[in-house]
Chains A and B, each alone.
Chain A
């Protein structure tokens, strides 16, 4: 990410905007929307993790939420009254990331031989298995507390500083949701940074080579098995971190938050935003968190105003829009709203010339 000097002011403005955003949202729309912004950041992290698996390596994973669940349950079990444990966050979060990573490899190892659509179904099955276990591991030994979920989870806190309560800094009262916003923002930027570096690395290019043509990639000497496993592992790690933060932020988790629909929603963020393009995925994450919320808040009153009563359940309407959006985007903009520049770059004049030259020489030698 090496921008010229003229971009520095833009950067500074962007940074200031991101820092002031929660206060602006709070002033304009109220506390609830800062919470939604927090969720948007969590979802962006998840979507970026899935982007590595789906966008870069081209492996369709429909059970991605399982890693989120692993991270969340890890946090919840180790810092709540459920098992009476209150481990420090410095241990719990990395452990959650590691655990999710292990699950990613566990899922990846046996399924790597499978083709795209089979892989999708197996990962879907894996996600459901995790959810079913979370749902049922309350008897005979109560581990996950079953469908009731785990509550009273400790907030993220370290060295006496808790993100769960308001703090006064420089004479300004900063509420808990704002603090979480900054925490999540930091993690999101880290994930963006890591994604960005991976994309332009040897590994990233190997992923894209596999996505475009696995046989050719293997012929070029890429160890496809390990490289695909790495995609699963890194994607899962992001999911695990995000899950831990989610548990600390919410204070309550239940298996309901980790269903197939959540997996699909994250997939939608990646697909609608633009598979393989970080900023597209970020856009997808923001849009798909904010629009449904706007829908939820807006659809009821609008219907009230139009028909005098709520005819269609806003929640169904929201999901309906999701489904339609998936179909329509695939039909009309298969590469997403903000597609990766990779292909565009491949098709620029410069490269065309190279291809043309190569072809010319081939044809020349035939003459």
Chain B
């Protein structure tokens, strides 16, 4: 029982991170119909910047909580700028090109970011300083620590904020209008280009938060961390129904749960033939299964069949 609960806790924590990153994919896809392949690397850059900032600030002997906030702001600022630049350079010139072209530039951008990070920060794993309390709490026989609680709460807050932004503000209305029909939105006086830029920046800011969360949770930062995370978050977005914000959140949490429960029980299910080292396979099986049986995802209303 307590193992089950523990796996559920772990899944929720991991799922919250997936959900935040998935939001970035889904927002861009909803508006441009483009898989922003480089989004995972933005998460990594966010984590790296947060690491660099907190190292500098800690050596200035500031209190940890303040360091955390400042590092978060630095990471968000850098990632927003990065998202803006990526869209401007790699996607905007190709907006009317064949579908594969922007996907290939996205892969290119992803490789460039990864290797720039490797050149700047090296190949080694970096330890992320403990800025948050790590006290553990026992809940019904399972253990959860402060960092993990904060991750789940922060993710919920960010999502609530995003929902408000999209459904209650002028900007949000413009975003929904562009997603619905770009040319009609333009005729109604929506500045499409700036809406798209802002969308990229919001997604990147969420990615920065997610990057900080992952590094705070595991205490490790690495130039390659964004790749798999991005892939899984994309899976989460597809699972929930890509282009759908609630779907991304649901998909993220579900994928987190599937992974942790799967990794926890696969050994028993297969009689010890497959172990928890197959954890990463689940995401891909889920992805393939969803695309085959329900291509529009769990909450996706329309089958996005354009072009």
By the criterion CB–CB under 8 Å, are A313 and B119 in contact? Answer: yes
A60-B100, A136-B275 given as contacts; is B284 within 8 A of A125 (CB)? yes
Using known A-B contacts A125-B284, A125-B287, A323-B110, determine if residue A316 contacts B103 with beta carbons closer than 8 Å.
Answer: no
User: Does B109 make an interface contact (CB < 8 A)?
Assistant: yes
Chain A residues with CB below 8 A from B114, complex form: 319, 323
When distances are taken between beta carbons in the complex, the residues of chain A under 8 Å from B109 are: 323, 327
The residues in A between 307 and 333 inclusive whose CB is less than 8 angstroms from any CB of B are 312-313, 316-317, 319-320, 322-327, 330-331
Q: Using A116-B100, A121-B234, A312-B119 as known contacts, say yes or no to A330 and B94 having CB atoms under 8 A apart.
A: yes
Residue of B nearest to A213 (CB): B307
Q: Which of A4-12, A107-115, A246-254, A358-366 contacts B (4 or more CB under 8 A)?
A: A107-115
Shortest B180–chain A CB gap in Å is 19
A117 touches B (CB below 8 Å): yes
Contacts of B287 in A (CB 8 A): 121-122, 125
Which residues of chain A have C-beta atoms less than 8 A from B277's C-beta? 135-136
Contact B280 A264 (CB under 8 A): no
Q: How many A-B residue pairs have CB under 8 A?
A: 129
Known contacts A139-B275, A326-B105; A122 and B291 CB within 8 A of each other:
yes
Q: Are the CB atoms of A125 and B101 closer together than 8 Å?
A: no
Indicate which residue in B34, B90, B273, B280 contacts A128 across the interface (CB closer than 8 Å).
Answer: B280
**Given the complex, which residues of B lie within 8 Å of A136, measured CB to CB?**
274-275, 277-278
Interface flags for A118-138 (1: CB within 8 Å of B; 0: not) read 101110111011001101100
Residues from chain B with a CB closer than 8 A to the CB of A122 are: 287-288, 291
Residues in A neighbouring B295, C-beta threshold 8 A:
113-114, 118
- How far is B285's CA from A327's CA once the two chains are assembled, in angstroms? 30
17 A-B residue pairs with Cβ-Cβ distance under 8 Å, sorted by A, are A60-B103, A111-B288, A114-B295, A115-B307, A121-B234, A122-B288, A129-B284, A132-B280, A132-B281, A133-B281, A140-B272, A316-B118, A319-B111, A320-B119, A323-B108, A323-B113, A327-B109
- How many residues of B are counted as interface, with CB atoms below 8 angstroms from the partner's CB atoms? 51
A271 within 8 A of B: yes
Is the pair A330, B278 in contact by a Cβ cutoff of 8 Å? no
Chain B residue numbers with a CB within 8 Å of A49 are none
**8 Å CB contact of A111 from B89, B110, B227, B291:** B291
List residues of chain B with CB within 8 A of the CB of A292: none
Q: What 1/0 flags go to B293-307 for Cβ under 8 Å of A?
A: 001000000000101
Q: Are B108 and A326 in contact (CB under 8 A)?
A: yes
* A: number of interface residues (CB 8 Å): 45
Do B273 and A140 touch (CB < 8 A)?
yes
Interface of A, secondary structure class, is helix
Kindly identify, within residues 285 to 321 of chain A, every residue whose CB is under 8 Å from any CB belonging to chain B: 312-313, 316-317, 319-320
- List residues of A whose CB falls within 8 A of some B CB: 58, 60, 62, 110-111, 113-118, 120-122, 124-126, 128-129, 132-133, 135-136, 139-141, 260, 264, 267, 271, 312-313, 316-317, 319-320, 322-327, 330-331, 334
Query: Chain B's nearest CB lies how many Å from the CB of A222?
Result: 19
Give the interface centre of A124, A126, A133, A267 by most chain B CB atoms within 10 Å.
Answer: A124
Q: Are B103 and A331 in contact (CB under 8 A)?
A: no
A123 nearest in chain B by CB position: B288
CB distance from B276 to the nearest CB of A (A): 10
Residues of B within 8 A of A118 (CB): 238, 291, 295
Q: Is the CB of B281 within 8 A of A324?
A: no
The answer to the question of B97 belonging to the interface, with a C-beta cut-off of 8 Å to chain A, is: yes
Cβ contact of B35, chosen from A117, A126, A312, A322, cutoff 8 A: A117
With A60-B100, A117-B35: A330-B284 Cβ-Cβ less than 8 Å: no
User: Is B231 on the interface with A (CB-CB < 8 A)?
Assistant: yes
Give the residues in chain A near B112, CB-CB below 8 Å: 320, 323-324, 327
Instruction: For the complex formed, measure the closest distance between the CB of A281 and the CB atoms of chain B, giving whole angstroms.
Output: 15
